[in-house]
């Protein structure tokens, strides 16, 4: 057991485990110490010094985030000396910051702005040293970088290194020229960046934001010649409310649909529909690979890995290009939706597909990049015209003047608006795997998965890498080759964990048949386009909301969705068929690692 340490903070005794910091101890007794470089997802940095406190017996102030608690410490968190120091630090940061706060995208949701107001910082306290002629890097489809708003806290650098193991950003230069930059100072679209957006959700200011496209969407909505369709991802409905006055984890599905209809979208549809479709295609693809491996003894890439996360897909393209065959050929639900919007949906409503503007409301920054991939034009047009983050949707609803809290609930429109609980759980890490297993087990055995209420609990939760083993018994005749097979499955979230999985595959040591990988911590509920702040506690509340919505659905397995059955009967004909291959499947390509 860990040794206990007892110290006193502002006259209150607190006991913590040995190794915990003064900041940890203060949180335990609800004493707030301001921070900027600190984030609970990341390692300790201690470089902003906003969290300084006074310690009895020491002349100099100490950083509470980087100082371990020690027995008998006497700490004061808000003495005149501490307050003066913090105000000085804030004033220095403001002196080299672009303080055009009224026009900043992060205004009212900026940690620097909040602390500057809290400490009543006058921006004339120190001479401004903001470098002139600063440029904003808008080269990436997904990430916008504005150095004039960077406070050099290095949270983005640590995020990219620790959580994602990509290292697209680094500290360069020294002294007054120190900055967060890229390899060789290249623009964002020319570096090894997965577009995941985790740097954005961890940035305390507006130095890193998503590329924003809602002005173009407003123009399309206002154009009477355009038919504007939006599909919204499962994790948007459990996070959008955070931007509009609801508590964390509140489901706002019906209000979201109402708001989007009132904004002026011609049709509001559900990405969950194509999540169900993804399961049908992906489960069949896995079964085909297993049959080749077990029956015809063909060489086939196993384990098969999901390809729903565009950040993960770009990661494997850069880092493990020799193993791209392991990826499922299925497009993501967003891209399946786009392809069907301008083919099947256009036919059903009798609209010229050239007049359709297909918009995706997503929890993800990488979805913007994915929408602009040259591979994603199988409908004969760009399948998805624009991707909007959850944050952008929140801004659009605010701009429309709607009182979101008082909106009535509405249902998604038809023709691609029906979905199941299996599709909803795509939003949480392990959800794609669970949805696939619910259907695959029925196909293989004719029975439901042997878990209470279809809940495959071993693959849920926030563990770095999760595993499950399912034994197939009493299989239907078509899949008798799987009789008695104990199949192993794995789930990883965050690209550091993806690297662990891929290194295992590269060594030829993977014991799994199917693997789910999501680029972001917690899966899509923790995506780079979700409301800020996002931390582990918030992720867990969003995950709970996802599973609650699943349990409330009348249908909870993808293959039972009546609209899925209908689209195969009327349009696609069969899973993995000619039309499915053309519209719903794709190939990815090798990219440079450096």
Which is the catalytic residue, given 370, 392, 418, 516? 370
Residue 104 among the catalytic residues: no
Residue 308 among the catalytic residues: yes
Q: How far is CA 162 from CA 173, 217, 492, in A?
A: 22, 35, 15
Which is the catalytic residue, given 367, 419, 434, 510? 367
Give CA–CA dist 240/202, Å, rounded.
18
Residue 509, Cα to own-chain centre: how many angstroms?
29
Nearest to 492 by CA among 465, 473, 519, 453: 465
Residues 6+ positions from 569 with CB-CB distance below 8 Å: none
Angular region, 264: left φ>0, alpha ψ -120 to 50, beta rest? left
Distance, first Cα to last Cα, the chain: 45
Q: How far is CA 44 from CA 41, 66, 114, 384, 404, in A?
A: 10, 6, 22, 40, 39
Give CA–CA dist 63/52, Å, rounded.
4
How many residues comprise the chain? 594
Which is the catalytic residue, given 282, 392, 418, 549? 282
Residue 375 among the catalytic residues: yes
Which is the catalytic residue, given 21, 235, 328, 379? 328
Give CA–CA dist 8/110, Å, rounded.
31
Give CA–CA dist 541/249, Å, rounded.
5
Angular region, 10: left φ>0, alpha ψ -120 to 50, beta rest? left
Residue 524 among the catalytic residues: yes
Which is the catalytic residue, given 70, 375, 574, 578? 375
**Helix, strand, or coil here: 90?**
helix
Which is the catalytic residue, given 65, 203, 308, 330? 308
Residue 203 among the catalytic residues: no
Which is the catalytic residue, given 74, 96, 162, 285? 285
Which is the catalytic residue, given 524, 549, 558, 580? 524
515 neighbors 489 (Cβ within 8 angstroms): yes
Per-residue b/e over 398-414, b at no fewer than 16 CB within 10 Å?
eeeebebeebeebebbe
Residue 282 among the catalytic residues: yes
* Residues belonging to the active site: 282, 285, 308, 328, 367, 370, 375, 524
């Amino acid at each position: 057991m860990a040794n206990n340490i007892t110290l006193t903070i502002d006259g209150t005794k607190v006991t913590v485990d040995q190794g915990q910091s003064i900041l940890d101890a203060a949180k335990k007794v609800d004493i707030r110490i301001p921070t900027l470089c600190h984030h609970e997802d990341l390692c300790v940095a201690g470089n902003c010094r906003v969290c300084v406190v006074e310690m009895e017996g020491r002349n100099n102030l100490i950083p509470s985030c980087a100082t371990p608690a020690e027995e008998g410490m006497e700490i004061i968190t808000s003495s005149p000396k501490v307050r003066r120091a913090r105000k000085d630090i804030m004033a220095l940061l403001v002196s080299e910051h672009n303080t055009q706060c009224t026009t900043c995208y992060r205004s009212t949701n900026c940690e620097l702005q909040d602390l500057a107001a809290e400490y009543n910082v006058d921006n004339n306290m120190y001479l401004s040293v903001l470098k002139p002629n600063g440029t904003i890097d808008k080269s990436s489809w997904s990430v916008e970088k504005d150095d004039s708003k960077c406070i050099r806290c290095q949270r983005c650098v640590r995020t990219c290194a620790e959580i994602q193991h990509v290292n697209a950003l680094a500290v360069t230069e020294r002294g007054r020229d120190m900055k967060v930059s890229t390899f060789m100072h290249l623009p964002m679209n020319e570096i090894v960046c997965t577009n995941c957006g985790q740097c954005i959700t961890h940035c305390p200011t507006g130095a890193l934001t998503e590329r924003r496209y809602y002005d173009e969407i407003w123009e399309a909505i206002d154009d009477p010649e355009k038919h504007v369709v939006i599909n919204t991802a499962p994790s948007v409905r459990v996070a959008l409310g955070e931007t509009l006055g609801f508590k964390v984890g509140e489901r706002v599905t019906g209000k979201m649909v109402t708001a989007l209809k009132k904004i002026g979208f011609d049709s509001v549809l559900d990405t969950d529909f194509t999540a169900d479709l993804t399961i049908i295609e992906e489960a069949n693809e896995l079964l085909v690979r297993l049959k080749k491996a077990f029956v015809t003894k063909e060489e086939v890439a196993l384990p098969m890995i999901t390809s729903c996360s565009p950040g993960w897909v770009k990661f494997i393209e850069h880092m493990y290009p020799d193993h791209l065959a392991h990826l499922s050929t299925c497009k993501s639900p967003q891209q399946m939706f786009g392809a069907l919007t301008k083919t099947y949906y256009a036919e059903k409503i009798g609209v010229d597909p050239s007049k359709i503007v297909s918009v995706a409301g997503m929890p993800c920054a990488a979805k913007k990049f994915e929408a602009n991939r040259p591979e994603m034009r199988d409908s004969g047009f760009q399948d998805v015209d624009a991707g909007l983050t959850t944050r952008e949707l929140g801004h659009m609803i605010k701009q429309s003047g709607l009182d979101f809290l008082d909106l009535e609930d509405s249902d998604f429109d038809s023709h691609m608006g029906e979905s199941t609980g299996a599709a909803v759980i795509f939003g949480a890490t392990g959800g794609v795997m669970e949805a696939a297993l619910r259907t695959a087990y029925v196909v293989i055995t004719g029975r439901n998965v042997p878990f209470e209420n279809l809940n495959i609990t071993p693959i849920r939760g926030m563990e770095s890498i999760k595993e499950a083993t399912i034994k197939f018994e009493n299989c239907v005749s078509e899949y008798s080759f799987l009789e008695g097979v104990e199949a192993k499955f794995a789930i990883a979230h965050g690209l550091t964990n993806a690297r662990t999985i891929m290194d295992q595959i590269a060594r030829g040591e993977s014991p799994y048949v199917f693997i789910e990988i999501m680029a972001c911590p917690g899966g899509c509920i923790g995506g780079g386009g979700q409301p800020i702040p996002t931390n582990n506690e918030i992720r867990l509340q969003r995950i709970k909301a996802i599973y609650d919505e699943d349990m409330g659905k009348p249908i909870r397995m993808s293959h039972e969705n009546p609209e899925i059955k209908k689209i195969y009967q009327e349009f696609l004909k069969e899973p993995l068929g000619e039309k499915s291959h053309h519209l719903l499947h794709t190939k990815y390509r090798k990219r440079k690692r450096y």
